[in-house]
Amino acid sequence: MAARASCVNAVSERLERVRARIAAAAEAAGRDPHAIRLIGVSKLQPVAAISAALDAGLEDVGENFVQEALQKMDALPDRTATWHFIGTLQSNKARDVAGHFDWVHSVDRLKVARRLSAQCRDRTRPLNVCIQVRLGDEPTKAGVREEELGALAAAVSTLPGLSLRGLMCVPPPETDPQRQRGWFRRLRELRDELATRGLSLDSLSMGMSADLEAAVAEGATHLRIGTALFGARH
């Protein structure tokens, strides 16, 4: 009981602090904080931590690993959270992802998008997807290259069962806020370029614990926050 109570307190205090950071960043940018969704990223965190965050008012949960996420969903059966898949997506997991998640942020190949689409026939609502873009010169990182984004976005936007909502990035780590903003600005510009070609997307999934202020300043609509909310990962 005592351990659970302290977990609930720690998470709810951290949630308040993160919300205050978002509110301050939104105010500085002249933005409405309600236009920014906070996704609590709970990979490698216990179910009790997610439960505590939901009790404290969190509405969106992000997970990176399919099996881990499904186990957690089973352990939280009566919860109404919105679930976001943000990890590396393998096509053989498309059925589980389409069947259990509301959003997928990490689409970076047409093959995976087609598999997801094929698994979405039974859904009553389309699966919301973002295309993950690889910014910077990090060849091992996930994400479509900037040069290939236009073609992939055009193709994904036509797939039944999917609703292409936006772009996502995990930029190279930077400590300087101006450099952080530079990456996020780039993602926003890519979104705006797609709009000039007739593909308007309403979401920018960008910003994590260390750089959420920079992301909010550049127009983030979805922040993916792990350690600032749940503490260090186990």
Ligand X SMILES: *Cc1c(COP(=O)(O)O)cnc(C)c1O
The residues of the shown chain that bind ligand X, judged by CB under 6 A, are 41, 43, 64, 86, 170, 208-210, 224-228
Nearer Cβ to ligand X (29/142): 142
Nearer Cβ to ligand X (44/199): 44
For the bound state, the minimum distance from the C-beta of residue 103 to ligand X, rounded and expressed in Å, comes to 12
* 3-state secondary structure (DSSP) of residue 166: strand
Comparing CA positions, the residue from 97, 76, 62, 102 lying closest to residue 209 is: 62
DSSP 35-94: GSEEEEE-TT--HHHHHHHHHTT--EEEES-HHHHHHHHHHSTT--PEEEE-S---GGGH
Nearest residue to the partner ligand X, using Cβ: 226
For the bound state, the minimum distance from the C-beta of residue 211 to ligand X, rounded and expressed in Å, comes to 9
Nearer Cβ to ligand X (43/185): 43
Nearer Cβ to ligand X (51/64): 64
Alpha-carbon dihedral sign for residues 60, 63, 69, 75? negative
Nearer Cβ to ligand X (219/226): 226
Angle formed at CA 207 by CA 95 and CA 178, multiple of 5 degrees = 150
For the bound state, the minimum distance from the C-beta of residue 228 to ligand X, rounded and expressed in Å, comes to 6
Half-sphere exposure of 172 (CA within 13 A, CB side): 10
For the bound state, the minimum distance from the C-beta of residue 222 to ligand X, rounded and expressed in Å, comes to 10
Nearer Cβ to ligand X (68/193): 68
For the bound state, the minimum distance from the C-beta of residue 69 to ligand X, rounded and expressed in Å, comes to 12
Q: Distances from the Cα of 44 to the Cαs of 7, 65, 94, 98, 226, in angstroms?
A: 15, 9, 21, 21, 10
CA atoms of 112 and 181, how far apart (whole Å): 30
For the bound state, the minimum distance from the C-beta of residue 122 to ligand X, rounded and expressed in Å, comes to 27
Ramachandran category for residue 138: left, alpha or beta (phi over 0 → left; psi -120 to 50 → alpha)? beta
Nearer Cβ to ligand X (87/219): 87
For the bound state, the minimum distance from the C-beta of residue 216 to ligand X, rounded and expressed in Å, comes to 14
Is residue 142 within 8 Å of residue 134, measured between CB atoms?
yes
